[in-house]
A and B are shown apart, each in its own frame.
Chain A
Amino acid sequence: MIAEKYFNAALLGGLALIAFWAYGADEPFTITLLTKVTILALAGVGLNIALGQGGLISLGHAVFFGIGGYAMGILASHAQSYQPMTLGPWMIEGTKSMPVIWLTAMVSAGLVALSIGLVSLRTNGVYFIMITLAFGQMFYYFSISWPAYGGEDGLSIYVRNSFPGLNTLDPIQFFGITFALLLLALLFHAALVRSPFGLALNAARQSPERVKTVGLNPFRLQLAAFVISGVITGLAGALFADLNRFVSPTMFSWQLSGEIMVFVILGGTARLCGPVAGAAMFIALEHWLGGLSEYWHIYLGLLLLAVVLFAPGGLIGIVTRREAAHD
Chain B
Amino acid sequence: MKSKLIAAAASALTLCSGTLGTAALAGAHMSDVKVGMITTLSGGGAGLGIDVRDGFMLAVKLADTGHIEVVIEDDQRKPDIAVQLADKMIQSEKVDLLTGIIWSNLAMAVVPSATAQGKFYLSPNAGPSALAGKGCHKNYFNVAWQNDNMHEAAGAYANSAGYKNSFILAPNYPAGHDSLTGYKRHYTGALAGELFTQLGQKDYAAELAQIRASGADSVFFFLPGGMGISFLKQYADSGIDLPVIGPAFSFDQGILQAVGDAALGVVNTSQWNKDIDNAANKTFVEAFQAEYGRLPSLYASQGYDTANLLISAMAKADIHDQDAFRAALEEADFESVRGDFAFAPNHHPIQDIYVREVIKEGDVYTNKIIGVALEDHQDVYGADCKM
Contacts and interface: CB of A to CB of B under 8 A. Distances in A.
- Touching in the complex, A and B, CB below 8 A? yes
A250 B108 CA distance: 14
B174 A151 contact: yes
A150 B108 contact: yes
B314 interface: no
A175 interface: no
A29 B199 contact: no
B300 interface: no
Nearest to A244: B83
Interface string A19-53: 00000000111101100100000000000000000
A254 interface: no
A14 interface: no
A152 B196 CA distance: 14
Given A29-B88, A244-B79, A244-B109, A152 B174 contact: yes
Interface string A282-305: 000000001101111100000000
Nearest to B81: A286
B188 interface: no
B292 interface: no
Interface string A140-184: 010011010011111010100000000000010000000000000
A61 interface: no
B309 to A, nearest CB: 25
A32 B173 contact: no
B88 A150 contact: no
Contacts of B80: 240, 244, 246, 248, 250-251
A248 B87 contact: no
A205 interface: no
A189 interface: no
A295 B109 contact: no
A33 B175 CA distance: 31
Contacts of A293: 1
B42 A297 contact: yes
A297 B44 CA distance: 13
Contacts of B88: 29, 32
Nearest to B112: A156
Nearest to A248: B79
A154 B78 CA distance: 12
A271 interface: no
Contacts of A145: 172-173, 196, 199
B283 interface: no
Contacts of A158: 112-113, 116
B19 interface: no
A29 B109 contact: no
Interface residues of B, number: 31
A250 B109 CA distance: 12
B174 A150 contact: yes
Given A244-B84, A294-B74, A153 B128 contact: yes
A36 B79 contact: no
Nearest to B78: A250
B113 A245 contact: yes
B91 A32 contact: yes
Interface string B102-117: 0011001100110010
A153 B109 CA distance: 8
Contacts of A150: 108, 174
A29 B172 contact: no
Given A28-B92, A294-B74, A154 B105 contact: yes
A250 B112 CA distance: 19
A158 B112 CA distance: 7
A248 B105 contact: yes
Contacts of B109: 154, 156, 244, 246, 248
Nearest to B79: A248
B177 interface: yes
B83 A250 contact: no
Nearest to B199: A144
Contacts of A296: 42
Contact of B79 (A141, A171, A246, A290): A246
Contacts of B322: none
Nearest to A22: B92
Determine which residue in A171, A240, A245 has the highest number of CB atoms from chain B within 10 A of its CB, and name it. Answer: A245
A44 B105 CA distance: 26
Determine which residue in A156, A291, A295, A297 has the highest number of CB atoms from chain B within 10 A of its CB, and name it. Answer: A156
Contacts of B177: 147, 151
Interface in B91-139: 91-92, 104-105, 108-109, 112-113, 116, 128, 130
A174 to B, nearest CB: 12
B173 A294 contact: no
Contacts of B79: 154, 244, 246, 248, 250
Nearest to B1: A294
B92 A27 contact: yes
Interface string A77-107: 0000000000000000000000000000000
A192 to B, nearest CB: 29
Given A156-B112, A248-B105, A29 B42 contact: no
Nearest to B86: A244
B198 interface: yes
State the 5 A-B residue pairs at the shortest beta-carbon distance, nearest first. Answer: A152-B173, A29-B92, A28-B91, A244-B83, A29-B88
Given A245-B83, A246-B108, 15 more contacts: A29-B91, A141-B198, A145-B173, A145-B199, A153-B108, A154-B79, A156-B112, A158-B116, A244-B83, A248-B79, A248-B105, A291-B2, A294-B1, A294-B41, A295-B42
26 contacts: A28-B91, A28-B92, A29-B91, A30-B92, A32-B84, A33-B84, A144-B199, A145-B172, A145-B199, A151-B174, A152-B105, A153-B108, A153-B130, A153-B173, A154-B105, A154-B109, A156-B112, A240-B80, A244-B79, A246-B80, A246-B83, A246-B113, A290-B1, A290-B2, A293-B1, A294-B42
